[in-house]
Amino acid sequence: MDRKKKIKLSVLDQSPVRKGGNAVQAIKETINLAKAADTLGFTRYWVSEHHNSRGLAGSTPEVLIAHLAGETTRIRVGAGGVMLPHYSALKVAENFKMLEILFPGRIDLGIGRAPGTDRLTAAILNPSNDFDEQQFIEQLQHLGHYLHDSFEPGHVTEKIRAIPQAPTVPPVWLLSSSGQSALFAANFGLAFSFAHFINPNGGPAIVQNYKQHFHPSEFFNKPKTNVGVFVLCANTEEKVAELQETMDLVMLRVEKGILAGIPPYKDVVAQKYTPAEQERINHNRQRIISGTPDQVKEKLETLAAAYDADELVLVTITHDFEDRLESYRLLSEAFSLGKPNPYSSAL
């Protein structure tokens, strides 16, 4: 990728709940952050789907998207993503057709395969879900047909139409950290978002493989990608270290199944780590880009070049909302997002 080409930046918001806080605060912060991202020049604002977690409040992206799109004016708003195995492909298509009618040209439908929760909760959400690969492939097929009214004659669902009927449909992105889902996205002609913040290894090769195997579709006539990464940006090295060390503890707790709220820094400095825990922290830091604005800008440009991607989706989690907001403000300024971007596109 041309390093001089202007990189588009987007936001993935998981609606984190701070220790001592609550979900009401977290969702209000999501609303405020979406408004800020709209004015700061970010390309899209995606919200995630997680269940049975005290640390993340976002469980119903389709509901939250409707509100966020109404609170913003320019930015694309979407799911990052809807965990399709939990649901009927028909109902997902109808939800997003309705959103597209309400906010034409501003909605993204991101699809994920992971449960977004523990297996017990996943089984409660959809008792028939056995995480079968072939069932997921069929769901992707049906979703595309429902969105475009393109079932072939004789198909079992030929007479079913996803309503409301809309003149346009939202583009579909497949979100993943694996090579298999990249091939699914390529086969169905979907856009592909690689989660570097989940898997920091092998991503550029996976994205390249997606591009090489891409088949044009009703959604896209050429490959389209972006890359998601944890980002922490602050004006001073001291503040950067504070944010990084907090995220170290958060990620370590998640790996241990501790789904508590985001801790304040005073809790972090009291932690003592075993050699094994420190090894995990060192590994997890591959998933995070942190630093002052100039440092983060250089690192993000390097990451985008490695993936040959012109868009990065930033995930920023902090205890204090103002720190999260400031991180995005600084990056908007560093990348001149508020200025006209000749490389931007409608999608």
What pTM does this model have?
Answer: 0.94
CB atoms under 10 Å from CB of 150, counted, come to 10
Residue type, 27: I
For residues 6 and 69, the model is more confident at 69
pLDDT at 1: 52
Instruction: Report pLDDT digits (tens) over 90-146.
Output: 999 999 999 999 999 999 999 998 876 777 777 788 778 777 889 999 999 999 999
For residue 327, the model assigns a pLDDT of 98
Within 10 A of 24 (CB to CB), how many other CB atoms are there?
10
Say which residue, 27 or 260, is predicted with more confidence: 27
**pLDDT for res 116:** 66
- Say if residue 182's pLDDT is above 80: yes
- Confidence at 346, pLDDT banded by 50, 70, 90: low
Q: How confident is the model at residue 154 (pLDDT cuts 50, 70, 90)?
A: confident
Which superfamily does 8-234+291-334 belong to? Luciferase-like domain (3.20.20.30)
Dig out the tokens for 61 from the structure.
């992206």
Question: What's the rounded mean pLDDT across residues 163-184?
Answer: 94
Q: Which helix (H) or strand (E) holds 47?
A: strand 44-47
Identify the weakest region by mean pLDDT among 221-225, 245-249, 337-341: 337-341
Answer yes or no: is pLDDT of 340 > 50: no
| Three-class secondary structure of residue 49 per DSSP | coil
Is the pLDDT confidence value at 155 over 70? yes
Residue 248 in contact with residue 220, Cβ under 8 Å?
A: no
* Phi (first) and psi of residue 232, to 5 degrees: -130, 120
Digit-coded pLDDT (tens) for 70-96: 999 999 999 999 999 999 999 999 999
- DSSP character string of 261-292: PBPPHHHHHT----HHHHHHHHHHGGGEEEES
Residues 175-183: what's their mean pLDDT? Answer: 92
